[in-house]
Every structure is written in structure tokens, then in C-alpha cells.
Amino acid sequence: MFSKILIANRGEIALRIIRACRELGIRTVAVYSEADRNSLHVRFADEAICIGPPSSSSSYLNIPAIISAAEITDVEAIHPGYGFLAENPHFAEICESCKITFIGPTPENIRLMGDKMAARAAMQKAGLPVVPGSIAAIKTKEEALKVAKSIGYPVIIKAAAGGGGKGMRVCHNDLTLISSLMTAQAEAEANFGNSAVYIERYIEKPRHIEIQILGDKYGHILHLGERDCSIQRRHQKLLEESPSPAVDVKLRKRIGDMALKGAKIAGYVSAGTIEFLLDSRNNFYFMEMNTRIQVEHPVTEMVTGIDLLKEQIRIACGEKITIQQDQVHIKGAAIECRINAEDYENNFLPCPGKIETLILPGGPGVRVDTHIYQGYEISPYYDSLIAKLITYGSNRQEAIAVMRRALNEFHISGIKTTIPFYLKLLENPLFLKGEISTHFVQEMFKEEQKEI
Ligand code: MV4
């Protein structure tokens, strides 16, 4: 087992990794920007090194600074968390060349799954269902029209180097397809330095179902059930839950087996997530694979009892996965609400500031993963996530009741948060029935606009 690990991240995920290390008897090194001098991960770690000024590019994305901090403190491994360098294959390679273990997948895993078109082709070859669409990049409008003709409208244009919804455009006819193609290629070049785009049939109002994967360095692969992440706004997940109200035992086995097949063919190592689209007729399609621990990993931990961060660290130092697939049981239900420092009544506008008073929820079935404290200054330099509120119940209704209670106990003054949004969401009859799709939030707002 490692004796010391550097956490190349900040906020709640840095704390989460430090906690896993502490329980494994591993010493920790935090890195922080000047803006994070008073952050909790700095205080909780055994050692801390300032790696630069507030901007992410000068600090948490600053590879030379992070590697220098690792050398100075003589760590054996680096955990990247999520975001920042977590899915940067170049960073993973640099760690390995410096004889520092990268706690995550191989650079090959990251590179393959980072190219959404190559990932789609590899998964299709492995036998996973993919949405009908183009095999190769679409270069000309003639090619686009030909593919659209064969799959039928509506179609969606996606950037090969995109992902997470960035650079997507839905087209309903030849005219919009031709005009969107040029802009999509230009945007892909500008945003990702790669103009390659591809086309798929557009699945109307899908659910976002993702499967948690764990793979060790000896080819053992495990799946830990699904998470339903359909409650999103502009491709930002807001609420995630496990199990999905749309997935029964039979469908879970089908999707889980497909995810295992894909991860095995990819030779996947560490924690990863395979995302699927589920349509209204229970057809599911491979969407993309995330090669990192995800924000929403706690809901899987709550219903399986498996600590994903400890498993990641054990896998990275060469241990075998000892859990068998038939020992993985989904028990009860868990929900996560992402509490952001955003003004829900003002179109979710980010509003950093100082936390004057803070009362965190607690009691049976409540977990709060957060780095905030009373008097903490929320920085404008980083994303607005300030806490993850996770609740557990013996079933979905009970998990919702615990979430309602916890949200009402959660008191923050000095900043605005998305708590009022969740209190409203948890009263919505369609949500309570589990009748949600990725269009739910925008439809909920349309309803609200009508009420105004
Ligand atoms: C789609 C789709 C419908 N049809 N692909 C969004 C982000 C990226 N993971 C892929 N996404 C989508 N791909 C086809 N062929 C709808 C979405 C989508 C979506 C998917 C999951 C969760 C939220 C979403 C919000 C809008 C669009």
C-alpha cells in the first residue's frame, strides 16, 4: 500500500480522497492555489503546497507545479479527482514517466474514451448497442445529407472531441442540417482544437442511465449498478439517484452485462462510468464513457456499501478486486442533490461570497460531502458546487422523505444556493412518480413561466 499520496484537486472531492487515505493509513499532500489558502482540504492534509495563483490554468491545471510538488514531498501516487487533469492522458503519462502512480485508468483508456467517435466505434465492435449514425467523421454536407437520409430525422450533430453535451446540435431537416454542420465544425475546432463531428439519430426525451464500473490491473471487471442522472440543466447534472425508477432487475442485468462487455474489451482499469441513453421503449444505447471518479459516486456507495475511493487506491497499488459480481447487491435507494452557490430564482446565476451562518443537516440516512464551513469565502475562480447532500432510505419514497427533511435542516446564510430548487423539485408529482427524462427540468421551468 502507498505511504503518501498527493491530491491534485480541491473542494469536496479533495476532502473525500483525504478521508479514504486516512482510513487506509496513507499520508496525504494537498496542493492549493492562493485563493484556496483557507480551504479545508489544506487543513485536513498532512502536508500542503501552494502551487500558484488563483486561476485554474496557473494552479490545478499546472502540470509542472503539481509534479514538482509531488517530487518535493516524495509521494508515490497522485489522485486527480474529477475535472481538472482527471481525464488528461498527457498528465497520466507524465506521472508514469516520473515513476509516480496515477490513481485512475491507463492513458490508453483515457485517450480512447476521450474521442467520442472512436469510443462509439470500439463499443459498437464490442457488441454494445449504439444509436444509429455515422461511423466516421462527417466532412461535407453531401455526406451529412446521406447519413441523415439513412437514419431519419431528427438527427444530432456531436463533436468527436466534445462530450458532456458540449457542441451538440439537433437538426430536424436538410436545411437546418446543412447550416448547423458548418457552425458545429467551426465550434468544435474553436473549443476542442478538433473539427471532427459525427451524426446520430436523435433520441427524443431520453433518460441518462450510467453504470459504475471497477476494473483492476488483472482484467477483473465489476459493475456496481446504475445511476439515473436525468435531472440536468444545460448538461449540468443536478440530482442523481440509484437505483433508477426506470430500471427493473431484468433491464439492470441487460445494461450491466453490456457495460461489463464494453469495459472488458477496453481493458479498463480503475473506476469508470459508462453512460447510456434509455428511450421510452426501454431501448438503451451507449453514449460515452467517463474515465474518472464522478461527482455522483456517493449514491452508488450508499446502495452497495462499497467505498469507491478506497477501491481505486487499492487497484492503483496493484491489489486484486476481491468482490465477485454476484456479491454486489443494490440495497435501498439513495439520492444526491448538488448544492451550488447559485441563485435559483435568478436563472441559477453563480453567486460566490462569504458564508455567514451554516447549519448542516444530519440524522439517520443523511450524508453531506462538503468543504464549506461557517466563515468560508466561496471563491469565484472555480465551479459553484459547495456541497453534495446524499440521503438513503429503504426505498425511493423514504430516500425522498429523508432528502426533504435534510434540505429543510440545511441552513446557509450570506450566499444564495440551489436548495429552494430541490425543495420545489421534490414536490413535483412527475418527479415523485419517477416519470422524468433529460428534458424534465426545462419542462418544469416552462410550466413555471406559464404560472408567472
Ligand atoms: C444524445 C441525446 C439524444 N440522442 N444523443 C448529452 C450529453 C452527452 N452525454 C450526450 N447527450 C445526449 N446525447 C442522441 N443520439 C440526448 C443527449 C442529452 C442528454 C443526455 C443525457 C443527459 C442529459 C441530456 C441533456 C440533453 C441532451
Q: Which atom of ligand 1 is nearest to the CA of 204?
A: 3
Check if CATH label 3.40.50.170 holds for domain 207-451.
no
Hey, whose CA ends up nearest to atom 23 of ligand 1? 438
Question: pLDDT tens digits, residue range 12-56?
Answer: 999 999 999 999 999 999 999 999 999 999 999 999 999 999 999
Residue 373 has pLDDT above 70, yes or no: yes
**All cell numbers assigned to 334:** 439513495
Task: Output the CA 165–ligand 1 centroid distance in Å.
Answer: 6
Fold designation for 4-103: Rossmann fold (3.40.50)
Task: Output the CA 149–ligand 1 centroid distance in Å.
Answer: 21
Catalytic residue selected from 120, 201, 207, 292? 292
Which residues' Cβ are closer than 6 Å to ligand 1?
131, 156, 164-165, 200-203, 206, 208, 232, 235, 275, 277, 287-288, 438
Q: Do domains 4-103 and 207-451 have the same CATH topology?
A: no
Hey, whose CA ends up nearest to atom 19 of ligand 1? 438
Residue 72 has pLDDT above 50, yes or no: yes
Residue 452 has pLDDT above 60, yes or no: no
Closest CA to 360 of 382, 386, 334: 386
10 is catalytic: no
Question: pLDDT tens digits, residue range 156-203?
Answer: 999 988 877 888 999 999 999 999 999 999 999 999 899 999 999 999
Diameter of the chain measured on Cα atoms? 61
Distances (CA, A) of 390 to 83, 339, 348: 20, 10, 21
Fold designation for 132-201: Dna Ligase; domain 1 (3.30.1490)
**All cell numbers assigned to 183:** 457552425
Residues 162 and 97: beta-carbon distance below 8 Å:
no
Strand order in the sheet with 77-79: 47-52, 27-33, 4-7, 77-79, 101-102
Q: How do beta strands 47-52 and 27-33 pair?
A: parallel
Hey, whose CA ends up nearest to atom 17 of ligand 1? 165
Domain ranges, ordered by start, for the chain: 4-103, 132-201, 207-451
By the 10 Å C-beta count (0-12 exposed, 13-18 middle, 19+ buried), 377 is classed as middle
**pTM (2 d.p.):** 0.95
Does 344 or 99 have the greater pLDDT score?
99
